[in-house]
Structure 1
């Protein structure tokens, strides 16, 4: 129980990352056709237009890995008071969000890019706390 109270901030950040990325990755897998269809239109007329299925696949895999890593990080924090997986999770979340930001900026979806800011702040706060 001491590890829970000692690492509560880190665990809450990891839970946020877990929910955000696992849900997003599972949604992409469950509705592949809908997601790729919408994104093909979203990226039409950009340098990324021909790469939508590849990009969605890469992002989906990274999001699911980030979610699974968050689970491992929470377990390691609670069981061993070890924060290494937690740091890696937050870093991977930041990298993934930067990839998403790049896509939104290329598509000139500035509102969508702005939406990612809140997620990035939480993830970079995790990096800051854990490093």
Structure 2
């Protein structure tokens, strides 16, 4: 297999976003409550449930595309689904980064960058 590193990155992104989506679905009230407090001093203070729903959809789309991309890459060496999974992962992470910066949570923003770097590498390798 010539695409081992790309496959590992797609699995990494799949785990990241599917687990995060699972957490949002099954602990919705707790997430909304925590995020309302987190964004209390921002323009998003009244939009938390809607913003969380948008992020949830993007995370699930990213994770599902990365899973499909992993399978496609492993079975046929195809890169289409993986590329779009990595691209959606980057878009999702940029939205999360924007929220953290808006909330002035610079440590949280820094943590997102740790996930963003491998996502960008995956986009590059799968393009």
Q: Scaled by the length of structure 2, what TM-score is found? A: 0.97
Once residues 95 and 43 of structure 2 are traced to their aligned partners in structure 1, the CA distance between those partners, rounded to angstroms, is: 15
Q: For structure 1, which runs of at least 5 residues remain unmatched after alignment?
A: none
CA RMSD of aligned residues (A): 0.7
Q: For residue 80 of structure 1, report the CA deviation from its aligned partner.
A: 1.5
Q: For residue 66 of structure 1, report the CA deviation from its aligned partner.
A: 1.0
- Is 1:116 matched up with 2:112? yes
Q: For residue 21 of structure 1, report the CA deviation from its aligned partner.
A: 0.4
Runs of 4+ in 1 over 2 A off after TM superposition: none
Q: For residue 6 of structure 1, report the CA deviation from its aligned partner.
A: 1.3
Q: For residue 82 of structure 1, report the CA deviation from its aligned partner.
A: 0.6
Number of positions where the alignment pairs a residue of Structure 1 with one of Structure 2: 127
Q: For residue 14 of structure 1, report the CA deviation from its aligned partner.
A: 0.3
- Is 1:43 matched up with 2:39? yes
Q: For residue 69 of structure 1, report the CA deviation from its aligned partner.
A: 0.8
**1:37-85 CA distance string (max 9 Å, x none):** 0000000021110100001111111111111111110111122211011
User: Hey, what does 1:28 align to over in structure 2?
Assistant: 24
- Is 1:57 matched up with 2:47? no
Once residues 21 and 9 of structure 1 are traced to their aligned partners in structure 2, the CA distance between those partners, rounded to angstroms, is: 18
Q: 1:79 aligns with which of 70, 75, 83?
A: 75
Q: Scaled by the length of structure 1, what TM-score is found? A: 0.94
